[in-house]
Amino acid sequence: PLLPVIAITIAILSGCDRGGQSVYLPPSNGASAPPAGPSKTFVADSDNRVIASFANADPPAGEVGVDRLISGSAVGNFMEALVYDAIADRLYVADDGVFPGVARSITIIDNASIANGPSSASRQIRSTALNRSTTTMSLDAANDLLYVNNSDASSGNAVVLVFSGISTASNDVVPDQVIALIDYSGTPVSNVGAMHVDTINDILYVSTSVSRGPAGFADVILAYPNASLLNTAAPAIPNREMEIGIAGGGRRWIVGDTVNDRLFVSSGSKVLVFDFLSFLPSGITTPARAIELTYAIAGLALAPLGDRLYSIVSDPFIQLNGVIIVNNASSANSDNGDVTTKFAVSPGSNRLSAIAVAP
């Protein structure tokens, strides 16, 4: 049977109405009706300074009414990363503060699944270590750690900041660790596309590009063992470097299914799926399968318990904005013809910048 890839527009993202406000469809159960239940999907719309959230994690294809809109001081103008702790019902928002007078920070929204309308942050973490845009975060809820990518103030090379006690941390915070990253050849990593922490095997995975000399650059996944023990004293050394393609195809978003030892990696309009991740050796690595999504991917999120993969599609040139939902993500395979795609085009020109989902 066909394993459907259901694509939805999460909202009518038509920029702004004549009053200067963002335009969204009301909830499907009526404009004044309360949401059917707690929200499970969160999507950042930085242009309009809102986070749209949805109670139905697997809605039908088509234009879908937003259940809640989080606005006010809890959200920012350049939200490049979201992480959701479903057990604590807590949303972490990386705000890169591109406007004058707005500092880079990580905002925490408690009771995120029911947050609606103008909202204040429950807490905010500021740090002088946040030198540039935070484009990816990974949460180790069991050990109360938040991994945040950033850069070294002096060299500009990539670092991973580790904040402990993240469930209560607030105000000006010094990261417990500032981890410098080097690749398999010992060269400092200059940028991180995305990051995943395998909390079972204690492995930090990052996507980046490395030099191959005259052959150019290659996109790789670097694996750093003993992630929770990495520290500021010395650069982190990977024990594996998995080459996944030639550089130049855009940013490599990654999300991981820790329990099933699986990694999903964006590649243009495809998602490459790697099984037995912790056992993959170094070298050119062939994915177990691929999922074709037709449109260029601008962000990924995974709901492993629901076996759903979410991809942001946001292309202002063709005025396309929405989220593609892949059901049966663990086995979907375009090469076998068992994946179909549907998409309802939105007229908007907004830029959806980050997504987080409940498992």
On the question of pLDDT at 310 being above 60, the answer is yes
* 68-71 and 79-85 strand pairing: unpaired
Determine what percent of the chain is predicted with pLDDT higher than 70: 80
Q: What pLDDT is attached to residue 232? A: 81
Dist. CA 321–CA 73, nearest whole Å: 25
For residue 350, give both structure tokens: 């907004």
Q: What pLDDT is attached to residue 319? A: 65
Q: Of the spans 97-101, 307-311, 332-336, which averages the highest pLDDT?
A: 307-311
Judged by phi (left if over 0) then psi (alpha if -120 to 50, else beta), residue 248 lies in left
Q: Which residues are CB-contacts of 41 (< 8 A; sequence separation ≥ 6)?
A: 10, 53, 54, 57, 310, 323, 355, 356, 357, 358
On the question of pLDDT at 177 being above 50, the answer is yes
Mean pLDDT of the region 307-335: 82
On the question of pLDDT at 197 being above 70, the answer is yes
Q: What pLDDT is attached to residue 23? A: 52
Q: What pLDDT is attached to residue 268? A: 86
140 forms beta bridges with 145
Give the pLDDT band of residue 20 (cuts 50, 70, 90).
Answer: very low
The three-class DSSP label of residue 134 is coil
Dist. CA 147–CA 156, nearest whole Å: 18
Q: What pLDDT is attached to residue 348? A: 46
Judged by phi (left if over 0) then psi (alpha if -120 to 50, else beta), residue 216 lies in left
Q: What pLDDT is attached to residue 12? A: 34
Q: Tens digit of pLDDT for each residue in 87-104? A: 999 999 998 765 444 557
Q: What pLDDT is attached to residue 261? A: 97
Q: What pLDDT is attached to residue 226? A: 93
Q: What pLDDT is attached to residue 122? A: 93
Q: Of the spans 143-157, 225-239, 252-266, 300-314, which averages the highest pLDDT?
A: 252-266
Mean pLDDT of the region 52-59: 86
On the question of pLDDT at 24 being above 80, the answer is no
Q: What pLDDT is attached to residue 282? A: 95
Q: What pLDDT is attached to residue 248? A: 62
Q: For the chain, what is the mean pLDDT? A: 82
Q: What pLDDT is attached to residue 9? A: 40
Residue 234 CB coordination number (10 Å) = 10
